[in-house]
Amino acid sequence: MRLRDLKAELQRVRPFDVKRQKYDLEQYPTGAEIAAHLVFTAATVHGDIEDCVVADLGCGTAMLGIGAALMGASTVLGMDADMDALEIAQQNVCQLDVAHICDFAICDVGFLPTRPGLPIVDTVIMNPPFGTRSKGADVAFLEAAIALRPHAIYSLHKSSTRDYLLRRARDDWGVQAEVIAELRFDIPKMYKFHKSKSRDIEVDFIRLELPEELRDSPCQPSAGEERAESPEFLSTNSPSAHSPAPLPPPPPSPPAAGAAAGTEAAGAGGGAA
């Protein structure tokens, strides 16, 4: 898929519901253009998307995850703490015909490093909180991503934190980190306390690569190896305190105009999203 086609598809992704948006979670929509460039670069320059299991941490309404699915990911695992956002994410993956590739779980990403039975993933993509509302949230997301032991991590961070994050990556986490691009992230007026219509923030597009000894597996499975499409902790029917709850199926669609009385509406999508 060409970059412009990917961007056009991602413009169909429905953002957060402004009436249910959570400021404490620093919920701001990732624009289609930035999302397209992030996923396209990961796919075409580094080969970290196609035929890979991709985790989208703090997935929101699944802008990045859908991008990965459209670029050939074998499985996309979206995790977020907000049920309202995940319900929209389910609707989005059905709308863009990638529901068969995407699974979602209600999960506080910051606690992932303490959870048993983490899924095997090849690549992590994310637009984490910048840490302006909850100090250290950006670092917590990076630590969660590293705990999944992927081959590579792609993440967006405020440029003002660049030196600190690159130093943490090198000295504390033992991973290679580089700034792939410098971007301008447009944040529209979304909350009552916002005074201007929009605000541009300087953002770094960072790629982290884990050394071989920290990885669970390479992007391509070894000969004879089979990888589960849906990790147990995402699909369990009786989640415990140590496993994030799976997302319930989407609500049925309203009946089409003129449909006969008593006819049930078709579901929003087949299979788990």
Q: What's the distance, CA 169 to chain centroid? A: 21
Q: What is the pLDDT of residues 116-138, one digit of tens each?
A: 778 889 999 999 987 666 688 89
CA neighbor of 145 nearest in space, from 134, 159, 156: 156
Tokens 């910051």, residue located: 110
CATH homologous superfamily of domain 3-14+31-218? Vaccinia Virus protein VP39 (3.40.50.150)
Q: How confident is the model at residue 35 (pLDDT cuts 50, 70, 90)?
A: very high
Q: How confident is the model at residue 199 (pLDDT cuts 50, 70, 90)?
A: low
Looking at per-residue confidence, does 27 or 221 come out higher?
27
Specify the pLDDT at position 187. Answer: 61
Q: Which two tokens stand for residue 67?
A: 């991008």
Distances (CA, A) of 133 to 1, 31, 96, 130, 261: 37, 21, 32, 8, 50
Specify the pLDDT at position 115. Answer: 75
CA neighbor of 15 nearest in space, from 138, 186, 136: 186
Q: How confident is the model at residue 263 (pLDDT cuts 50, 70, 90)?
A: very low
Specify the pLDDT at position 108. Answer: 85
Residues with Cβ within 8 Å of 124's Cβ and at least 6 positions away in sequence, in order, are 54, 55, 56, 57, 145, 148, 150, 152, 153, 154, 155
Distances (CA, A) of 49 to 56, 142, 193, 220: 12, 19, 38, 11
Cα(64)–Cα(10) distance, integer angstroms:
9
Specify the pLDDT at position 214. Answer: 87
Tokens 């637009």, residue located: 127
Q: What is the pLDDT of residues 141-168, one digit of tens each?
A: 999 999 999 999 999 999 999 999 999 9
Tokens 């995790």, residue located: 79
